[in-house]
Amino acid sequence: MELFKVLVIQVLFASLPVLLVPSFETFVRTRALRLLRRSGGDSVGLAFTFASAASLLLCWMLDAGSPRIDGHLSLLPTGMGILYGVPRARFPLIALYALVGYIFSAAGEMPYVWIEALALLLLALGRTRLLDMRRSYRRLLIAAWLIVAYVPHAAFHVREETLGGGTFWGAFPMVSIELMAAFTAALLLLYSRRDVQDRYSMSAQAITMRERMLEEERKLQSFMGTLPGYALALDRAGLISEINDQAYSAIVQRAPSFNRQMLIGRSFSDLMGALGMQADPVFLEALDLTFRENKSVERTLVFGARKFRLYLSPTHTQGGQVGGAMCSIYEVTEIERMRTELENMNRLSLIGQMAAGVTHEVRNPMAVVRGYLQILQRKTPEEYEHYYKIVLEELDRAGGIIDDFLSLARTSSGEKENRSLRSVLDDLWPLLQADANLRGQQIRFEDGKDGEAMPMHAGEIKQLVLNLARNALEAMDEKGELVIFAEQTEESIVLRVTDNGPGIPEETLQQIRQPFFTTKKTGTGLGLALCSGIAERHGGQLSIQSTVGVGTEVRVEFARARQAEPVGKA
């Protein structure tokens, strides 16, 4: 019974590699990184080597502690370690087997240990060819090697039996039992090792795929972080899988309770609904087209007064199928405004060039016509006087239009003088006050501290203020109020003309700077274009803000000179 128990323990010890591999593999992967790098990253192979070394040591120690049994099964785990462990560890394992055998072997057993070490050496040298064979052939050869390698051990038992006065047949039962135990352990090792290796191979593949996915995700996050504008990554179902910082910040500004995790997995429509907005059908149509036709799509989105450019590009799986889409959204409101202004400037430049070429040819005949009309007016009966008056007024209006064209053609304001903006407003006060009184409206000036002098052409600045003020007065009903405000900041001198009229609709506001665009019955559509030109010639910029039902504010901002002397009110 004791013999059976010891043999069972020997079989268990010999089969330990398949039991110890999980623990050793975890240790190698987390703690023995240097060894893992040296072994080529084969954590399972390195774990099998360590487990085999531990198993052979335990088998020898059990054999030394059981005087009634002279056999051990350490040959098996050593062979398995040579075959399935790290290739570099083959010969160190053989050396360890010989060293442990030298320490724990019985008297007279060492020569047989050397023979077994030689058998292990042959196995190590033939390792590559053996592993390249089909599994069935490999198992047959391993069984044959085990029988041949066990011959020295059997010979030792026979020798011990005969030296003790026994016969060959007296040693046969022990040899047979140990050989059966060896085959049992070998079967356990071979089949269990395959399961362990397959399991860890799948686990390693899963870990590799997960690490690769995490790396791709990090690359995607890094790439999206460098994108300007708002960037979203969408999966095949149109759900958000990633979002860049700029888009996230814009969403959080509108909905502070949102966090990044709440955005992942939402559809674009759901996100817009959560933000209290309606999803643009243009976006949904573009996304459907991207998925359906597998091509990049470019569209323009409009949210109120803001315009955005949408770019959608499909992303693909390894099989070449559409796996999702990259969405980039850039705000182009300012770009569109600048493009419109550039078009207006080009149009004004062309108009100015034409005006400069034909003005002389037009004004001379008009002057002649006006002169003869005035002569005829003096010789015509009084009942026809009002007809001459109408004709002369229309000629004067035509002359004013020609002057406007000449102003458009002007690129320089000529010689300038240093004056404060407030002094110009004071000069215009009686004229503007009279216009307002005739309409039953109120007008007032406001300013901050004493204005700073700025280089200006006073006549042009007066024309600028008059045009803006009269536009505001004409836009208001009776009892309307016009406020003209001059202020000074650290970087600029600002003129603001504010009225409480009906305001300007958004669609009109987008076209109001275009030459010849007007909402008046008698207007030429050149007033704001002239004002913009005057502001630009003085280093300023004109902007308009309007709310329907509230009023309109026109703001002209002039850059301050680096060195200028403040002056008092005129």
According to DSSP, the residues that pair with 219 across neighbouring strands are none
Give the DSSP H/E element, type plus range, for residue 498.
strand 492-499
State the average pLDDT over residues 330-347. Answer: 76
Is a pLDDT exceeding 80 seen at residue 194? Answer: no
What is the model's pLDDT at position 37?
64
Residue 242: pLDDT band with limits 50, 70, 90: confident
Task: List pLDDT tens digits, range 112-121.
Answer: 778 878 888 8
Give the SS3 label for residue 499.
Answer: strand
Residues 6+ away with beta carbon under 8 Å from 476 = 439, 441, 482, 499, 500, 501
Residue 22: pLDDT band with limits 50, 70, 90: low
Task: List pLDDT tens digits, range 528-561.
Answer: 878 888 888 888 888 899 988 899 999 999 988 6
As a whole number of angstroms, the distance between CA 55 and CA 402 comes to 107
What is the model's pLDDT at position 482?
92
Of 390-399, 402-411, 479-488, 511-520, the one with minimum mean pLDDT is 402-411
Residue 327: pLDDT band with limits 50, 70, 90: confident
What is the model's pLDDT at position 483?
92
What percent of the chain is modeled with pLDDT above 90?
4
- Pairing outcome for strands 322-331 and 551-559: unpaired
Is a pLDDT exceeding 80 seen at residue 264? Answer: yes
The mean predicted confidence, pLDDT, of the chain is 76
State the average pLDDT over residues 194-202. Answer: 57
Is a pLDDT exceeding 60 seen at residue 569? Answer: no
Residue 106, both tokens: 């019985």
The residue among 551 and 413 whose pLDDT is bigger is 551
As a whole number of angstroms, the distance between CA 308 and CA 332 comes to 5
Burial of 540 per CB tally in 10 Å (0-12, 13-18, 19+): buried
Residue 32, both tokens: 């023995």
237 backbone dihedrals φ, ψ, rounded to 5°: -85, 0
Identity of the residue numbered 80: M
Task: List pLDDT tens digits, range 148-169.
Answer: 766 666 666 666 666 566 665 5
Task: List pLDDT tens digits, range 294-308.
Answer: 888 888 888 777 788
144-153, 346-355, 385-394, 549-558: which has the highest mean pLDDT? 549-558
What is the model's pLDDT at position 211?
74
**Domains of the chain with bracketed CATH:** 2-209 (no CATH), 227-331 (3.30.450.20), 336-409 (1.10.287), 417-559 (3.30.565.10)
State the average pLDDT over residues 399-408. Answer: 68
Of 101-110, 171-180, 208-217, the one with minimum mean pLDDT is 171-180
What is the model's pLDDT at position 107?
64
**Following DSSP, what letter does each residue of 303-330 receive, concatenated?**
ETTEEEEEEEEEEE-TTS-EEEEEEEEE
Residue 127, both tokens: 């390792």
What is the model's pLDDT at position 484?
92
What is the model's pLDDT at position 568?
43
According to DSSP, the residues that pair with 330 across neighbouring strands are 309
Task: List pLDDT tens digits, range 494-508.
Answer: 999 999 989 988 888
**Helical spans, DSSP H, in 165-263:** 168-226, 245-254, 260-263
Is a pLDDT exceeding 80 seen at residue 53? Answer: yes
State the average pLDDT over residues 350-357. Answer: 66
323 and 317 Cβ atoms separated by less than 8 Å: yes
Residue 551, both tokens: 């009023």
What percent of the chain is modeled with pLDDT above 70?
68
What is the model's pLDDT at position 552?
93
Identity of the residue numbered 294: N
DSSP code at position 561: P
Of 94-108, 137-151, 374-388, the one with minimum mean pLDDT is 137-151
Is a pLDDT exceeding 60 seen at residue 81? Answer: yes
Residue 352: pLDDT band with limits 50, 70, 90: low
- Closest listed residue to residue 483, CA positions, set 540, 419, 555: 555
**Following DSSP, what letter does each residue of 176-193 receive, concatenated?**
HHHHHHHHHHHHHHHHHH
Q: What's the pTM? A: 0.42
Residue 5: pLDDT band with limits 50, 70, 90: low
Mind spelling out the 3-state secondary structure of 380-424? CCHHHHHHHHHHHHHHHHHHHHHHHHHHHHCCCCCCCEEEEHHHH
Residue 344: pLDDT band with limits 50, 70, 90: low
